[in-house]
Chains A and B, each alone.
Chain A
Amino acid sequence: MEVPESLYSTVPCRRQQTDLLLALFGEKTHYTCPSIFIYGHTATGKSLVVNTVLQKLKLPHVQVNCVECYTARLMYEHILNQAGGVVPSPENDYASYARCDNMNEFLRLFKQALKETDKEEETFYIVLDKAERLRDMDMNILPAFLRLQELASGNLCVILISEIVWEKFRRGTGFVEPFVVHFSDYSKDDLCEIMALDCPVDYSEDFYLSYIKLLMNVFYQVCRNLGELRHLAILNFPKFVEPIKSGEAGQGDVRKLWRNIEPHLKKALQTVYLREVSSAQWERMQQESTATESGASSTSTPIPSNVARANVELPFYSKYLLIAAYLASYNPAKSDRRFFSKNAGKFSRRSKLAKKHERTSNQLLGPKPFPLDRLMAIFYSIVEERVAPTANIFLQISSLVTLQLLAQIASDDQLDGPKFKCLVSLDFIKLIARTVHVDVVRYLYDFV
């Protein structure tokens, strides 16, 4: 089978894997092994390699994204549509090739569809991307796809692509072991080479590569995801070339450019993976920050700090309810008497000793469920004035649940004493408590 040279250039740094796949595929009419399982981290070129190979060599194939086909029926019909060459359009009322509800029908229809095509002898490839979703579907689907060649008795190959290892797929019986191919992570040099492909037209490739290398020095420690790195590279490039555009530095003036970009990259380092701002907003922020640096009186802070990002304005009693929920979640129930009743005894020496052993454990173990009664009892004792138990108070608990600050667990029956968990962090609750002048730490078992 002749291989067009452009194949390797479109998928750089994956020559070994490409060759392996080509070897497995063989000639067009050869039988390929019934199933191939490809796995590797995110952004290691799995789908890209498979798709480019299939497209460049013009092999008959079907691509299925298992997330998109959320029921088995959709998946069957999707495969049949593509195999049978049916394109949903207004002319056919967006109908599919045929209605197909189960694997049996699928096999029958699929054989029929293959016969209709003129390339019956050639290997037909079915690519199942995000194959881990197949495990959640009916039990028979995964084994059946692995044996599709046998079941449909045709020249077929099923390629499964996933981010997790094959061992996690074994469930139930009837598996045929697929041929497993691993896509290893890109090395640092590979990453640079690939990212250099994004080079904008106005600049030379060498210049862009040097930029990428600078960027990698900063970010490689915290982030090896190609997608994220590419995003960062594109985001920060305009800032990098700013001195060149303004004529302050030439393309070769690496040191100057570095000094210019360094603080911005440091800032970007704090928000890696967050993607809270779009590229456009980021640029606006950058401009604002340069404006403030140059002495203009702009009051807006360019990058919101961690605390400010999570800031939520809550009604007065909601704050108290949330604090009460936090205390109920992180304090053992037997300590309530000590914190909230007037004439509570001090800790005995022995319990203090016992506590030493489990010190900070509550914070590490995470929130524990508590019943509604306990929440209300703590709530009444931390709110200074008398609060009538009106519908509005209980309404707030459920709105805290919808805001996902609390979580209701288990009990479906409202009468059956519902239980809750508090989902917010210590920092968040401290912030909330400060606004109502409650010292939460004083009430927390772990810190007393």
Chain B
Amino acid sequence: MSTAGSVSKACFVFKSKQKKVANPEDYFCHDTSDSTAQTRHRAFHTLWDELNTEIQILQSDLNTRIFDDLIQFTQNASSKFTFDPDDSTHQRVAYEIPTAALVTGVNMPDHDVMFANLISLVREKVSLYVAVLKSNDCPNVKSVMVKSITQLMGNKDMMDDSIDDGDNTTVNIKKINCTMSTLAAWYADKFNKPSSPKKKRSSSGEGIETSRCPPLVIVLEDLEGFPPHVLQDFVLICSNHLTDLPIVLILGIATAVTAVHRVLPHSVSSLLCIERFQAPPSTNYLTQVINKVLMTPRHPFKLDAKVFQLLLDIFLYHDFSVLNFIRGLQFGLMDHFYSNPVSCLCCPLEDSLETVKTLNHQNLEEMRKTASFRKYVESQPSKDQILLLTDDKHLKKVVADLLYSMDNYHRCFFPMLDCLHCLVKKLPKHPLGKQVREVYCECLKGNISETEAYKDAFSLLKAMSKDEMTILLHQCIDRLAQEDVPEELKSIPNNLREFVNRFENLEDLTQTVGDTTGDDENTEALPKKTDMHTLRKTLLERKKKKLTVYEVIRTDTVEYLNEICSKYLACPRSQPLHEIFYYDSASEIRRHINGAPRTAIQTALSNPYFYLQNPSLQGESNSVSPALPDVCIIYKLHLECGRLINMYDWLQAFITLIHTREGAEEEEDPKQPDKKLQARFIRAVSELQFLGFIKPTKRKTDHVARLTWGGC
């Protein structure tokens, strides 16, 4: 601290003593009376870790195919390179830079992960020399060159370092000229040695198949963001050195390949030999995430209809970004464990049964408070009701049972959901949607069998042809024959198979049944005396009744399907204690994930009580009261003005308002307002300007311009 007495006027940095790092657990357990907080925190972590690893595996699997193609491409591109300038094949290849155009889709937040995966793959399989350029680090040619060359040359060559230390490859990057000729010299020095047996041996030992001349891969993550002239120059420079450097470009393009032509003129784009790679759309990825993470009995945490719909909407309407969806999910998970005391049981069945045993009276009281449990209690006989509400031991037993049944419900639910999806996905007009997530969302909203869409779908199913029907049934059977299907559903495939058999044996049946129906019709006589109208009606009805055998079987099948669907696809909210597993506070998520800054500012200015919670401000949302903070008064006054605001009038209005509070006793000269009030006014006005509501204008003296429209 000796510097504090220094005579020089300067800023000194005093490092504070080591601050206690904020521990999330402390936040979780802020309430010491709540004993489950720690359990919940632990459960949250284990669950999130599981989900996260699963998502990451998905992510890497998703792009494997396209990455394999890309790796293949880079390997091929570099294989032709030699240092021998007389090689004829080389001469011809050298006109164009091998370029992979990776069309990534517009979900830009997800690209970082994708490129990180790609780069690590390239490093592992093709070449250690990879440079990654992002448009915001590269405003000019110099920065592009410096960035790429430092990354390429500064690469710590793992193979060389371990073997021969004398031939150290790390170069002091800061001193050198970052030009391609330097790079070429460096590359030639490294790889154009007449014989390098050492290197070869070591590389085979490492298991990396680097050819003698590994390519220099330069990845431009977002082509659209680069200034066109920078990119043009960079491509020109690269192409000048193709004879002595095996450069491979990978261009990440978010929109379409045409972007290349928009950025590069023909003279430049003809130097590229572009091959296109289309990344799978992010909707595929999302579907997989939802299937693997949410629509499975393996993970206990589930989203309720509103939250699920909200996250889906953000994805489809706003950004197509799976990363943001996962963030929303993570937030939901955290908030669920944080805010919901009963969530301590939200873990795999065995663990939750263990936890039930350790619950104390207070926890059980929480359990009793949940809405679904109360409903459950009301449905029980009155003797049980008292037991449930008073006897903790009994309650624990019941809770364990309920957890069992919940688990079982989930196990049956998802296979059935897939079946239903199989049935409805190809229907005309898609009453329940094309994607399984849409069907799932319907199920979450309420009892699906009572919805209009469901009824529409089943009436459409009743009109299906035999071939379509059998295909659908086979699909359902296949789905239900998978391993994860619980015992309870094992009988369904057999029943369905029976229906299929009946459909197939239809030909034999038609005649026999046809005869009997014919007999029936003959025996049934028409009523003797009727008017035209009733006669027509009866005839029509009879015609309707005359079903073919096929129709009979089809109706039976559909009825059966309807029955099992409505049995197993009951709304999760109808289950007792669903609060343990389902997270439903959509408003919380909306507030945190889909913020509305403008609305927030406007609320703060027009109704400061909302944020300040000061009782003196209450109920002032519509009128302008002098008790409000200055900036709020100014804001409200400015709402009454037009496009341009006269500063003097504004000041007068402000002073008048303030004076109403002070009782207007001191009569002042209005031309000479109080200095203090003037200062307050100016400060409030500049605050408003800082918030972006007004700006100074040159159009009229002593006026400011409004930047928002709409009155009060």
Contacts and interface: CB of A to CB of B under 8 A. Distances in A.
B642 interface: no
Interface residues of A, number: 62
A309 B257 CA distance: 7
A93 B176 contact: yes
Contact of B273 (A273, A279, A391): A279
Contacts of A198: 92
Interface string B134-172: 000000111001000000000000000000000000011
Contacts of A77: 177
**B interface, size bucket:** 35 or more
B695 A402 contact: no
Contacts of A273: 266, 269-270
Given A68-B240, A318-B106, A310 B275 contact: no
Given A71-B142, A78-B181, A312-B106, A275 B314 contact: no
A405 interface: yes
A93 B270 contact: no
B171 A227 contact: no
Contacts of B76: 280
A234 B224 CA distance: 31
B175 A275 contact: no
A313 B105 contact: yes
A399 B185 contact: no
B275 A281 contact: yes
B437 to A, nearest CB: 16
B198 to A, nearest CB: 17
B318 A315 contact: yes
Contacts of A312: 106, 255-256
Contact of B257 (A74, A96, A276, A392): A276
Interface-centre pick from A228, A278, A389, A416 (highest chain B CB count, 10 A): A278
A153 interface: no
B180 A68 contact: yes
Nearest to B276: A276
B689 to A, nearest CB: 8
A94 B106 contact: no
A233 to B, nearest CB: 12
Nearest to B172: A93
A88 to B, nearest CB: 5
Contact of B707 (A311, A316, A402, A417): A417
B179 A399 contact: no
Which applies to chain A's interface (DSSP): helix, strand, loop or mixed? Answer: loop
A150 B86 CA distance: 40
Interface in A61-111: 65, 67-71, 74, 77-78, 87-90, 93-96
Nearest to B180: A68
B189 interface: yes
Interface in A248-299: 273-281
Interface string B660-675: 0000000000000000
A142 B144 CA distance: 26
B262 A68 contact: no
A404 B262 contact: yes
Given A93-B171, A273-B270, A309-B257, A78 B319 contact: no
Contacts of B140: 70
Nearest to A281: B275
Contacts of B648: none
B320 interface: yes
Given A276-B276, A313-B106, A316-B316, A415 B707 contact: yes
A188 to B, nearest CB: 20
Given A67-B237, A234-B92, A395 B274 contact: no
B598 A88 contact: no
A1 interface: no
Contact of A399 (B256, B269, B319): B319
A402 B225 contact: yes
A13 interface: no
B464 interface: no
Contact of B276 (A130, A225, A277, A391): A277
A388 B233 CA distance: 44
Interface string B291-334: 00000000000000000000000111111100000000000000
A277 B316 CA distance: 31
B594 interface: yes
A404 B707 contact: no
B180 A396 contact: no
B449 to A, nearest CB: 28
Given A65-B240, A93-B172, A373 B709 contact: yes
B108 interface: yes
Interface in B176-209: 176-177, 179-182, 185-186, 189
Contacts of B576: none
27 contacts: A68-B180, A68-B237, A71-B142, A78-B179, A88-B176, A88-B177, A89-B185, A90-B186, A94-B176, A94-B185, A95-B176, A227-B95, A281-B275, A281-B276, A311-B256, A312-B255, A313-B105, A313-B281, A313-B320, A314-B320, A316-B317, A318-B318, A389-B598, A391-B594, A393-B318, A404-B262, A414-B692
| 4 closest A-B pairs by CB | A316-B317, A415-B692, A94-B176, A392-B318
Given A70-B140, A277-B276, A405-B255, 11 more contacts: A67-B236, A88-B177, A93-B172, A94-B176, A94-B182, A228-B270, A318-B318, A388-B594, A392-B594, A402-B222, A415-B695
